[in-house]
Amino acid sequence: MSPTLRTEIRQRKPFGSLEQEAVLGLARTAALLEHQMAEALKPHGLTPTQYNALRILRGAGDEGLCRNEVRDRLIAPMPDATRLLDRLGEMGLLVRSRQGEDRRYVTARITAEGLDLLARLDGVIQLLHTRQLGHLGPARLRALIELLEEARAPA
């Protein structure tokens, strides 16, 4: 049996409510999963947010996306997508271009180098996810996904 959250964080008193325990459990789990992701990406020179942005741009294809579209699709909200895209551009993983009459509209597109990096990472990240959650099995994973969707609904 897995240790309880109270045991993991060495909390002696009961939580104030089931909701509090659930929120803290989600936060603890997310932090641990995120740390493992960061460690897996570190040798490749990426952060989890940069990896997420590259995956978004890969999914957009040749059309690319503007900064705000990338920002709105990120897993973790981020106020400054410009700096994120600047860094990826400096790394040669994306290019940006102005199109149309509105010179403020800049489209970001993943480069061949960015696509190659993601292709090398696909197996690494899939293996990580399998190590992280594969022990739950398909039925429990589907139940977890549904519960998380319900938890996000009011937000």
In this structure, what CATH number is given to the domain that contains residue 58? 1.10.10.10
The verdict on residue 74 lying in a domain is yes
Q: Which pLDDT value is given to residue 104?
A: 65
CA 151, 140, 39 angle in degrees (round to 5)? 80
User: At a CB cut-off of 8 Å and minimum separation 6, what does 110 contact?
Assistant: 54, 57, 58, 60, 64, 93, 94, 118
The verdict on residue 14 lying in a domain is no
CA 83, 121, 145 angle in degrees (round to 5)? 85
DSSP element (H, E) containing 97: strand 94-98
Q: Which pLDDT value is given to residue 54?
A: 97
Q: Which pLDDT value is given to residue 6?
A: 79
H-only helix segments in 9-135: 18-41, 48-60, 67-73, 81-90, 112-133
The verdict on residue 2 lying in a domain is no
The verdict on residue 9 lying in a domain is no
- The number of domains in the chain is 1
Distance CA 133, CA 102 (A): 45
Distance CA 103, CA 97 (A): 10
pLDDT tens over the chain, length 155 residues: 678 887 888 888 988 999 998 999 999 999 999 999 999 999 999 999 999 999 999 999 999 999 999 999 999 988 888 899 999 999 999 999 877 666 667 899 999 999 999 999 999 999 999 999 999 999 999 999 999 999 999 87
Q: Which pLDDT value is given to residue 5?
A: 80
Q: Which pLDDT value is given to residue 105?
A: 75
Q: Which pLDDT value is given to residue 117?
A: 98
The verdict on residue 92 lying in a domain is yes
Tally the residues of the chain: 155
The verdict on residue 72 lying in a domain is yes
Neighbouring-strand partners of residue 96: 108
Neighbouring-strand partners of residue 110: 94
